[in-house]
Amino acid sequence: MAATADGLVGDAAITSLLVEDDERWLPLAHRRWSPSVHAHARRALGDWREAEDVVQQVFVAAWCGRSGFRPDRGTLPAWLLGIARRKTADALTARTRRREAAAGAAALAADDPDEGPERVVDRLVVARELSLLPRVQREVLALAYYADLTQVQIAARTGLPLGTVKSHARRGMRSLRLRAASAAGEVSGHP
Protein backbone atom coordinates (compact mmCIF):
# COMPACT_ATOMS: atom_id res chain seq x y z
CA MET A 1 0.00 0.00 0.00
CA ALA A 2 1.57 3.26 -1.18
CA ALA A 3 1.75 6.18 1.23
CA THR A 4 2.12 9.83 0.31
CA ALA A 5 4.94 12.07 1.55
CA ASP A 6 2.88 13.04 4.60
CA GLY A 7 2.39 9.37 5.56
CA LEU A 8 -1.22 9.18 4.37
CA VAL A 9 -2.39 6.42 2.06
CA GLY A 10 -3.13 7.78 -1.42
CA ASP A 11 -6.52 7.82 -3.13
CA ALA A 12 -5.47 5.18 -5.65
CA ALA A 13 -4.39 2.80 -2.89
CA ILE A 14 -7.67 3.30 -1.00
CA THR A 15 -9.60 2.71 -4.22
CA SER A 16 -7.64 -0.49 -4.85
CA LEU A 17 -8.46 -1.75 -1.37
CA LEU A 18 -12.17 -1.25 -2.03
CA VAL A 19 -12.02 -2.98 -5.40
CA GLU A 20 -10.14 -5.89 -3.81
CA ASP A 21 -12.74 -6.21 -0.98
CA ASP A 22 -10.08 -5.41 1.60
CA GLU A 23 -11.65 -4.31 4.88
CA ARG A 24 -8.77 -1.91 5.52
CA TRP A 25 -10.56 0.31 3.01
CA LEU A 26 -13.26 1.42 5.41
CA PRO A 27 -11.23 3.23 8.10
CA LEU A 28 -8.92 4.76 5.50
CA ALA A 29 -11.78 6.01 3.32
CA HIS A 30 -13.70 7.22 6.35
CA ARG A 31 -10.73 9.19 7.64
CA ARG A 32 -10.09 10.68 4.18
CA TRP A 33 -13.60 11.54 2.94
CA SER A 34 -15.95 11.68 5.93
CA PRO A 35 -15.31 15.42 6.44
CA SER A 36 -16.54 16.25 2.92
CA VAL A 37 -19.51 13.86 3.22
CA HIS A 38 -20.36 15.42 6.59
CA ALA A 39 -20.09 18.95 5.18
CA HIS A 40 -22.46 18.07 2.33
CA ALA A 41 -25.02 16.48 4.68
CA ARG A 42 -24.75 19.30 7.22
CA ARG A 43 -25.38 21.94 4.53
CA ALA A 44 -28.43 20.09 3.26
CA LEU A 45 -29.85 19.07 6.64
CA GLY A 46 -28.78 21.99 8.80
CA ASP A 47 -28.18 19.61 11.68
CA TRP A 48 -24.81 18.35 12.88
CA ARG A 49 -26.10 15.11 14.44
CA GLU A 50 -28.26 14.15 11.48
CA ALA A 51 -25.24 14.77 9.26
CA GLU A 52 -23.18 12.40 11.45
CA ASP A 53 -25.84 9.72 10.96
CA VAL A 54 -25.72 10.25 7.19
CA VAL A 55 -21.92 9.88 7.20
CA GLN A 56 -22.22 6.50 8.93
CA GLN A 57 -24.96 5.39 6.53
CA VAL A 58 -22.86 6.44 3.52
CA PHE A 59 -19.82 4.40 4.49
CA VAL A 60 -21.87 1.35 5.48
CA ALA A 61 -23.78 1.58 2.17
CA ALA A 62 -20.51 2.01 0.27
CA TRP A 63 -18.99 -1.08 1.86
CA CYS A 64 -22.16 -3.14 1.38
CA GLY A 65 -22.52 -1.94 -2.20
CA ARG A 66 -18.84 -2.04 -3.09
CA SER A 67 -19.49 -4.39 -6.00
CA GLY A 68 -21.35 -1.50 -7.66
CA PHE A 69 -18.32 0.79 -7.67
CA ARG A 70 -16.75 1.13 -11.11
CA PRO A 71 -13.44 3.05 -11.12
CA ASP A 72 -13.78 3.55 -14.90
CA ARG A 73 -17.01 5.54 -14.35
CA GLY A 74 -15.67 8.00 -11.80
CA THR A 75 -13.59 8.56 -8.72
CA LEU A 76 -14.20 7.06 -5.33
CA PRO A 77 -14.90 10.48 -3.73
CA ALA A 78 -17.51 11.21 -6.43
CA TRP A 79 -19.14 7.82 -5.85
CA LEU A 80 -19.25 8.45 -2.10
CA LEU A 81 -20.78 11.88 -2.65
CA GLY A 82 -23.46 10.32 -4.86
CA ILE A 83 -24.33 7.95 -2.03
CA ALA A 84 -24.28 10.91 0.36
CA ARG A 85 -26.80 12.79 -1.81
CA ARG A 86 -29.20 9.85 -1.72
CA LYS A 87 -28.79 9.28 2.02
CA THR A 88 -29.28 13.01 2.67
CA ALA A 89 -32.45 12.99 0.58
CA ASP A 90 -33.64 9.97 2.58
CA ALA A 91 -32.96 11.85 5.83
CA LEU A 92 -34.92 14.87 4.58
CA THR A 93 -37.82 12.62 3.57
CA ALA A 94 -37.80 10.92 6.97
CA ARG A 95 -37.76 14.31 8.69
CA THR A 96 -40.78 15.41 6.65
CA ARG A 97 -42.63 12.21 7.53
CA ARG A 98 -41.90 12.71 11.23
CA ARG A 99 -43.20 16.29 11.08
CA GLU A 100 -46.34 15.24 9.20
CA ALA A 101 -46.97 12.43 11.67
CA ALA A 102 -46.50 14.79 14.60
CA ALA A 103 -48.84 17.35 13.03
CA GLY A 104 -51.40 14.62 12.33
CA ALA A 105 -51.14 13.31 15.86
CA ALA A 106 -51.56 16.82 17.25
CA ALA A 107 -54.63 17.39 15.08
CA LEU A 108 -56.17 14.08 16.12
CA ALA A 109 -55.41 14.75 19.76
CA ALA A 110 -57.03 18.17 19.46
CA ASP A 111 -60.18 16.54 18.04
CA ASP A 112 -60.51 14.31 21.09
CA PRO A 113 -58.36 15.47 24.03
CA ASP A 114 -59.47 12.45 26.11
CA GLU A 115 -58.00 10.02 23.57
CA GLY A 116 -54.64 8.61 24.66
CA PRO A 117 -51.47 8.98 22.56
CA GLU A 118 -51.39 5.25 21.77
CA ARG A 119 -54.86 5.46 20.22
CA VAL A 120 -53.83 8.49 18.14
CA VAL A 121 -50.78 6.63 16.84
CA ASP A 122 -52.93 3.58 16.04
CA ARG A 123 -55.32 5.75 14.04
CA LEU A 124 -52.43 7.28 12.10
CA VAL A 125 -50.94 3.88 11.30
CA VAL A 126 -54.29 2.49 10.16
CA ALA A 127 -54.95 5.58 8.01
CA ARG A 128 -51.53 5.26 6.38
CA GLU A 129 -51.95 1.56 5.70
CA LEU A 130 -55.42 2.11 4.26
CA SER A 131 -54.01 4.78 1.95
CA LEU A 132 -51.73 2.13 0.41
CA LEU A 133 -54.63 -0.09 -0.63
CA PRO A 134 -56.30 0.10 -4.04
CA ARG A 135 -59.06 2.74 -4.08
CA VAL A 136 -62.08 0.41 -3.97
CA GLN A 137 -60.65 -1.75 -1.16
CA ARG A 138 -59.80 1.39 0.79
CA GLU A 139 -63.32 2.79 0.35
CA VAL A 140 -65.01 -0.47 1.36
CA LEU A 141 -62.90 -0.83 4.51
CA ALA A 142 -63.28 2.86 5.41
CA LEU A 143 -67.07 2.58 5.15
CA ALA A 144 -67.01 -0.58 7.26
CA TYR A 145 -64.78 0.74 10.04
CA TYR A 146 -65.16 4.51 10.07
CA ALA A 147 -68.82 4.76 9.03
CA ASP A 148 -69.67 1.49 10.82
CA LEU A 149 -71.67 0.17 7.86
CA THR A 150 -72.44 -3.48 7.19
CA GLN A 151 -71.42 -5.04 3.89
CA VAL A 152 -75.07 -4.92 2.73
CA GLN A 153 -75.18 -1.18 3.52
CA ILE A 154 -71.84 -0.63 1.74
CA ALA A 155 -73.20 -2.41 -1.35
CA ALA A 156 -76.32 -0.21 -1.29
CA ARG A 157 -74.29 2.99 -0.81
CA THR A 158 -71.64 2.24 -3.45
CA GLY A 159 -73.81 0.41 -5.97
CA LEU A 160 -71.38 -2.51 -5.96
CA PRO A 161 -72.75 -6.07 -5.86
CA LEU A 162 -72.63 -7.59 -2.35
CA GLY A 163 -70.21 -10.31 -3.47
CA THR A 164 -67.84 -7.66 -4.83
CA VAL A 165 -67.99 -5.72 -1.56
CA LYS A 166 -67.19 -8.92 0.35
CA SER A 167 -64.26 -9.70 -2.01
CA HIS A 168 -62.82 -6.19 -1.68
CA ALA A 169 -63.15 -6.32 2.10
CA ARG A 170 -61.47 -9.73 2.27
CA ARG A 171 -58.60 -8.76 -0.07
CA GLY A 172 -58.10 -5.44 1.71
CA MET A 173 -57.96 -7.10 5.12
CA ARG A 174 -55.55 -9.75 3.80
CA SER A 175 -53.26 -7.01 2.45
CA LEU A 176 -53.36 -5.16 5.77
CA ARG A 177 -52.63 -8.40 7.68
CA LEU A 178 -49.68 -9.25 5.43
CA ARG A 179 -48.20 -5.76 5.80
CA ALA A 180 -48.68 -5.87 9.57
CA ALA A 181 -46.99 -9.28 9.75
CA SER A 182 -44.15 -8.04 7.56
CA ALA A 183 -43.71 -4.92 9.71
CA ALA A 184 -43.73 -7.01 12.88
CA GLY A 185 -41.01 -9.22 11.39
CA GLU A 186 -38.91 -6.17 10.50
CA VAL A 187 -39.28 -4.72 13.98
CA SER A 188 -38.37 -7.99 15.67
CA GLY A 189 -35.44 -8.51 13.31
CA HIS A 190 -36.90 -11.50 11.51
CA PRO A 191 -37.50 -11.47 7.74
Same-domain check for residues 26 and 115: yes
Tell whether the model's pLDDT for residue 158 goes beyond 70: yes
Query: In whole angstroms, what is the distance from residue 172 CA to residue 180 CA?
Result: 12
| Number of structural domains in the chain | 2
Same-domain check for residues 105 and 163: no
Same-domain check for residues 71 and 55: yes
Query: In whole angstroms, what is the distance from residue 92 CA to residue 86 CA?
Result: 10
Enumerate residues 6+ apart whose C-beta is below 8 A from 14: 25, 28, 29, 32, 76
What residue numbers bound the domain in which 36 lies?
A: 1-131
Same-domain check for residues 148 and 84: no
Query: In whole angstroms, what is the distance from residue 158 CA to residue 141 CA?
Result: 12
Enumerate residues 6+ apart whose C-beta is below 8 A from 151: 144, 162, 165, 166, 169
Same-domain check for residues 53 and 141: no
pLDDT per residue over 122-133, tens digit each?
Answer: 667 777 787 888
Same-domain check for residues 126 and 161: no
Q: pLDDT-based confidence at 177, cuts 50/70/90?
A: confident
pLDDT per residue over 2-60, tens digit each?
Answer: 444 444 668 888 888 888 888 888 899 999 999 999 999 999 999 899 999 999 999 99
